Structure 1
Amino acid sequence: MKIETEKGHEIVSRILLTKIREGEWKPGDKLPSVVELSSSFGVGRSTVREALSALKAMGWLDIRHGGGTFVKKELPSERKDGADPFKDAASMMELLEVRKVLETGTATLAARNRKDEDLAALQAVLGTMREALERDDTAAGEQADVAFHAAIAAASHNSLLSGLMDSLAERLGRTIGQTRELWFYQETSTAVRLLEEHEGIYEAIAAGNAEEASRLIGTHLTKVENVLRERL
């Protein structure tokens, strides 16, 4: 079956979800590999990954690095407590709103105050992101994402602002995976695009362009906000 559409990942997501709902893949079952699904649907691997990310964000799939993709043992429609997979959307929204206020500010100050060692630290984190992308290592990608935002705060050279970011670190670490999946759900491209956004933020900071750095990081967080607002 050949799929020719601009938003192939949406069609693939719908087909996969139908297979789960109709019982072809039962709770706990392992899905075919990305390569197999790509061949079956006649789309690129990135399209399949986007589809899987969307279904993971909605609570249907569990993606285990190095272990494959599995149907959740407890499906969203079968939860006894009636909980929505986005039941934490309100608290996540609050966290995103705080992050947006703080991080647009830290990006502005980082562009103004960054030193060579700060740029080196940011470059190192971007290198880790690239490696995680090449290995398709979701966990490493999430850790690098947290580290990138922490490095921007450090580059602001404002101890109070850095302290506020540190105080959010634990909650940020717990939700970064969810926000990344939501980003993929909103964005119609791939994980490569997410890396490119981080690179753009870095380049603005390196160039000392405070306005652009603030704008880019705000746009980056707004994409996730938009998805959450639809779920509230």
Structure 2
Amino acid sequence: MSDDHTGFTLRSGPLVPQLEQLLRGRIRQGTWAPSERIPSEAALAVELGVGRSSIREAIRLLARDGLLEVRHGVGTFVAAASELEHVDEFTKLLRRSRILEVFEVRRALEIEAARLAAERVQPEDLDGLRRRLTMRHSHFEGDVEKFVDVDLDFHTEVVRLSGNAVLLSLFTSVRPLLRESLVEMMAHEAGVPDTSHAHDQLVEALQDADPEAAVAATRANIDTVLRRLRVLDA
């Protein structure tokens, strides 16, 4: 459903991160002023059509980051203006650290998947991958969430072509967290590098059944972003 205050739409997938983003946006946009009490969990749950437990968890995360203050028996309040100013930079650091850790896990999974895919893929398997690559490129400068989804569709297909069911299961389980991190990064960080060429090289490597080139292309894709994140996180 769409939220009138922020234009935010609840989508399929993990709910709490979406609610955290929604509430964070309201605080940033001044929907609730510093030191103001926000609506109760019950009121927010009814408004957004979600369970109270999801609202409670999103509030807990924002309180952990210093954006909200929970006063038991009284209510939940937006942090004072001076506190919000200090939280901004700290929140950026936390976000970058979280994204960095997710990309480190992604690197380990996708490098091995690319190597195996290059050894095992059949020519007829590549038609679907090429279609996903074209879809990815066509959405690069469009809606962030749509681009992230089609990009991850491409990478999921590469992992599937590895022929390793355990790798595919691991990547599928990590995908929601990876999606969240990619959306956050592209929405908040300036200068996110374009790695389209590395994606093209990966498909060429798979077509040539060249494991070393497939690994190199995967590293070029992920390490380019990792280097950017490590500079920001330094």
Same fold (TM over 0.5): yes
State whether residues 128 and 144 of structure 1, in contact with CA within 8 Å, keep that contact through their aligned partners in structure 2: yes
Following the alignment from structure 2 to structure 1, what is the Cα–Cα distance between the partners of residues 177 and 96? 14
Following superposition, the deviation at residue 106 of structure 1 comes to: 0.3
1:146 Cα offset (Å): 0.7
Q: Distance in 1 between matches of 2:177 and 2:111?
A: 19
Larger Rg: 2
What is the letter of the counterpart of residue 124 of structure 1? R
Tell me the distance in 2 between the aligned counterparts of 1:206 and 1:132: 23
Which AA in structure 2 matches 1:149?
H
Report deviation, 1:145: 0.9
Structure 1 residue 146 corresponds to structure 2 residue 156: no
Alignment partner, residue 84 of structure 1: 91
Q: Hey, what's the Cα distance between the residues in 2 that align with 1:229 and 1:79?
A: 24
Instruction: Kindly indicate whether the alpha-carbon contact (under 8 Å) linking 2:144 and 2:186 is maintained by their aligned counterparts in 1.
Output: no
Q: Does 1:202 align with 2:203?
A: yes
**Equivalent position to 1:171, from 163, 169, 177:** 177
* Native 8 Å contact 1:118 1:154 kept in 2: no
Give percent identity, aligned residues only: 22
- Cα deviation for residue 206 of structure 1 reads 1.3
Equivalent in 99, 112, 117 of residue 110 of structure 1: 117
Deviation string, structure 1 residues 78-132 (Cα, Å, up to 9, x no partner): 6453433242222222211111111110000011111244312211111212332
Separation (CA, whole Å) in 2 of partners of 1:98 and 1:113: 23
Q: Give 1:184 deviation, angstroms.
A: 6.9
- Any gaps of 5 or more consecutive residues in structure 2? 1-27, 30-82
- Cα separation, 2, equivalents of 1:182 and 1:196: 23
Structure 1, unaligned stretches of length 5 or more? 1-26, 29-76
Query: How many Å separate the matches in 1 of 2:177 and 2:230?
Result: 20
Q: 2:166 aligns with which of 157, 160, 165?
A: 160
What TM-score do the two structures reach when normalised by structure 1?
Answer: 0.57
2:136 and 2:154 in contact (8 A); partners too: no
Q: How many residues of Structure 1 are paired with residues of Structure 2 in the alignment?
A: 152
Q: Which residue of 2 aligns with 1:100?
A: 107
1:123 to 104, 124, 130: 130
Deviations 1:52-89 (A, max 9, x none): xxxxxxxxxxxxxxxxxxxxxxxxx9645343324222
